[in-house]
Structure 1
């Protein structure tokens, strides 16, 4: 019988303030959980063998948030959910690693979809607040919230009528982000003061995360300084400004944060870009 050699996987939150390595057989499957927190964060779990997990870098950035089902640890700088421990259900007491945070070798979550096993687990409600009654003006509304209820949004429209996008770039893959991009006029926001924001690259878009539970509900659009268009020829400037103003008028929302999400029902509507994490590098010591 051939002996299967374990692979050393290197993983980290997106900003690299928390890094680890784990030895495991070639990862070809994952575990998901139906509790509200795992659903909103899109976790794909790996249960490592005892003694196979090693912390390589820890700058004290992990915040723990607990429900009756899960003790979840996420980076309070970049929002990545990294590790957890289930407190109930068939995985009770198990230490878990979010496969989405593995960097090298990269494990494409799109390839794991058909081999992911889910188990039923329902946690107690953690929503502290409720949506104002006056905002419930139409049955077409969709409600979004983090797990603890500090950050909430109401979309007056139909998610199915919007363009749904998902990609597996280094940042989006870690938050399992599925985006819709309605106009700001169609969205009512609550709890903007209860998030931390993570900006990368040109810092034209900021992903926000609940300070308490770490769920990503919405993003902020800043765009480049409008002065960058001044150097363009008149015709190109007009077209570029039209795109700029359109982008500045949208309010991105994370579909995974939608209350009562039925992902299977909308999966066929999601447009995917399977470009992976090429070009993503960390300057590690």
Structure 2
């Protein structure tokens, strides 16, 4: 005789883009893991995927407010907030095969979750990096290494001139000049960036004709968070007080990730506290 069929306890999680224009709820088993894919779009966006079953995703505010991005076969639609750049979800054109970005959830410690790796980069068609077409960074650095890259759609091109290869084999205990790091504050957690700050002369940003780089700021407005208005990929941050720029290394080609251990900054523990929208 068969025993009882056990079903996992279902929890309800609330989520939102950073600016609060889009709010949703999902019902899933207690969250303990996320899936990270290394394909071109997932890596650049820093997605952490969860997969709610059909009927367990509900929009509470902002229905129709998200911007769509499609590429390749155009079967999959990636949706992000056009105001703050938060990547929310992806699904097929017919609404099936929904995946939600755990970065948008409220009250979740992303760094405590188990990560399941998926090798999407091994699946054809392969992504081809785009050639940099903008002006060179103006900084004068001896024996420099130049890194170039772009957002996913190619509307925003980037170049970083660095004093040697990007290497950080051991993450520092405290932030230092040139540190390569991640942060779990309300905006950084949602944008999924891996940043390094440099003087503006070391970074060049070139926009395709007709493109205006999206910018989002809040609170003290010291930081302007930049992202592509077409594909939603976060490309960097401008610190308008300290006159420094950060580039999102996820956008750059040729970075030796095996040589980098990112510094993890607990920005979530610093004030002022972010208030989750209701």
**What is the TM-score normalised by the length of structure 2?**
0.80
Contact preservation (8 Å) 1:144, 1:217: no
- How much does 1:165 deviate? 1.9
Higher share of residues assigned helix? 1
- How much does 1:42 deviate? 0.6
Query: Quick one: distance in 1 between partners of 2:247 and 2:183?
Result: 15
| Residues 40 and 187 (structure 1), Cα distance of their counterparts in 2 relative to 1, 3 Å cut | same
Aligned to 1:216: 234
Q: Does 1:140 align with 2:132?
A: no
Length, aligned pairs only: 250
SS at the partner of 1:50?
A: coil
SS at the partner of 2:268?
A: coil
Aligned to 2:245: 251
- How much does 1:35 deviate? 1.4
- How much does 1:110 deviate? 1.1
Of 63, 82, 90 in structure 2, the residue corresponding to residue 76 of structure 1 is 82
Contact preservation (8 Å) 1:8, 1:21: yes
Of 151, 154, 167 in structure 2, the residue corresponding to residue 160 of structure 1 is 167
Of 11, 17, 22 in structure 2, the residue corresponding to residue 13 of structure 1 is 17
Q: Does 1:102 align with 2:105?
A: yes
Of 253, 262, 273 in structure 1, the residue corresponding to residue 265 of structure 2 is 273
Larger CA deviation: 114-123 vs 189-198: 114-123
- How much does 1:274 deviate? 3.0
Of 1, 4, 26 in structure 1, the residue corresponding to residue 8 of structure 2 is 4
Q: Map Cα deviations across residues 70-106 of structure 1 (whole Å, 9 max, x no partner).
A: 421000000000010268xxxxx52100011001xx2
For structure 1, which runs of at least 5 residues remain unmatched after alignment?
88-92, 224-246
- How much does 1:144 deviate? 2.8
| Residues 9 and 213 (structure 1), Cα distance of their counterparts in 2 relative to 1, 3 Å cut | same
- 1:107-186 matches, within 5 Å, as 107-112=108-113, 114-121=114-121, 122=123, 123=125, 125=127, 130-132=131-133, 135=136, 140-157=145-162, 158-160=165-167, 162-186=178-202
Q: Map Cα deviations across residues 185-210 of structure 1 (whole Å, 9 max, x no partner).
A: 22222129531110011101110111
Q: Does 1:35 align with 2:39?
A: yes
Aligned to 1:237: none
Aligned to 2:276: 282
